[in-house]
Amino acid sequence: MDKRIFGIETEFGCMVRDTTLGTAEEVVEHVKDYAFYERKLGVIDLHARDYAFEPARAGGFLKNGGRLYIDAVGSHEEYATAECTDILDLVRHDRAGRILLSQLLQELNLEEMVSFHNNSIDHFGGHTFGCHENYLVQIEDRFFNEALNYLLPFLVTRQIFAGLGRVGGHKLVRPNSKSNIMTMSEHEVDYVWVSNFYGVEIDPTVDFQLSQRADHIVKTISSRVRFNRAIINPKWDSYYSYSNLHRLHILFGESNMSEYACWLKIGTTSLVLDLIEEGVVPADIELLDPLETLRNVSRDATYKWLVPMRNGTVITAIELQRRYLDSAKRYLHQKDAQTDAILQEWERILDDLERDPLSTHDRLDWSAKHRLYTQFMEENGTTWQDDIMQSVDLEYHNISPATGLFYGLEAAGEMRRMVTDAEVEHAILNPPDNTRAKGRGYVVSKLAEAKGARYLIDWDAVYIERNRQLELKNPFHTYEKEAQRFVRGV
């Protein structure tokens, strides 16, 4: 593909420090309603997108082409970026979601009592929630599952630069364990698709690891993911499908605070998909056991990151990544400026990780955390196993620029920026200029100003009343002129 469409969906944890405000579930509903009914940042869904998980008015599309909604599984505030084809655009729109939610808390005077966290783990509750990635891919249906086998080794090992890092670990157990700290919710939605329910315990043998979600992944590829979490969840829907192109939904992603780590994660994954589509993936990349390797690499405190291969050899995660990199350099070099920038930084980060993994603390979340937490423990006489370290770990992901630990590092010039604050502010209200989000965002802006309009909006179409329809099938087309004609008289 000359260009690729991609997007990110992020589920945010919510912490309520004042019980008089209500439960976390009530607070996220309040914030969502304020965004649509008071701030008019978009238009609320008038229809149910999914009767169990996204009923009517659970959220809606934003003026910037993305979505803000409540995920009924866990009642998370969730933000989905607009479709992007430029990786820096995606970084801007991903960060715009965090800044937007922080601004909403400030306007509601809740910032001292409520915080949203761009993390993927509840240390004590045993829950995990995700940051999912979507890619438009050119893979024929009959070859889809086979092609994904070439992607899995890359996804399993990219945590060495894309991992969030986390204090401690979890282990999965059967639900009859006496020390089980995870209980089934009383909500009916939690009983949908439960084919492999398990319990979760704190694992005291782990001090720190690369990935927040590695302990919770139980499948490589699965279409049924409730308590059956997989690395990849194939999704066959119309939203991202166009011509012979389909949507690839990656579940094993994590909510990077670092702009650089997010940019490199999306960029390298896109290049690997290029290799798969061109049929030029490197040879001998099949893992002996992807799930065991996922956990072992995450938990390896020596940073050797050994990877047993199906052919009987053992290499390092860095060596495996270099196999993908070498193929990408051979076949994709000079494809475009964006590709060359990713190739250059991919090689540089692997070199730095091989030389000194912790030298990457100015770019990668996990190494920035490790450096920060080690300093904290030395100054305060604490250990990895002290409860306060779980709290410190959580505050790294606080999305408030005023109080979040990550933003403190960034303000001190200790984290590399990829975009500017002005660009992020622009992305809060404006869609990317070169995808269908441009036309949809224009329609949403006009509908937000109208009174009493009846509409139905989806990623690939907009309907007004009963007889007016705007198709948005081509994700690479902006639909600007079509959108302007469509909303006349609204």
Catalytically active residues are 71
Burial code (b: 16+ CB inside 10 Å, e: under 16) for 117-134 equals bbbbbbbeebbbbbbbbb
- Separation between Cα atoms, residue 315 and residue 318, nearest integer Å: 8
- Separation between Cα atoms, residue 387 and residue 410, nearest integer Å: 25
For residue 214, give every residue at least 6 positions away whose Cβ sits within 8 Å of its Cβ, in sequence order, or none: 159, 294, 295, 297, 298, 299
- CA distances to 90, 119, 357, 402, 406 from 53, in Å: 26, 21, 41, 33, 32
DSSP 10-69: EEEEEEES-GGG--HHHHHHHHHHIIIIIS-SEEE-SS-SBTTTB-TTSEEEETTS-EEE
Whose structure tokens read 């302990």? 215
Distance, CA of 226 to chain centre: 17
Whose structure tokens read 């087309």? 477
Burial of 204 (0-12, 13-18, 19+ CB in 10 A): exposed
- Separation between Cα atoms, residue 260 and residue 362, nearest integer Å: 9
Q: In the beta sheet, which residues pair with residue 209?
A: 166
- CA distances to 131, 331, 360 from 101, in Å: 16, 41, 29
- Separation between Cα atoms, residue 135 and residue 289, nearest integer Å: 25
Residue type, 312: G
* CB-CB contact of 209 with 386 (8 Å): no
- Separation between Cα atoms, residue 338 and residue 360, nearest integer Å: 22
Residue type, 211: S
- Separation between Cα atoms, residue 225 and residue 246, nearest integer Å: 19
- Separation between Cα atoms, residue 353 and residue 153, nearest integer Å: 18
DSSP 426-489: HHHH---SSSTHHHHHHHHHHHHHSSS--EEEETTEEEETTTEEEE---TT---HHHHHHHTTT
Q: In the beta sheet, which residues pair with residue 137?
A: 246
Span between the terminal Cα atoms of the chain, in Å: 37
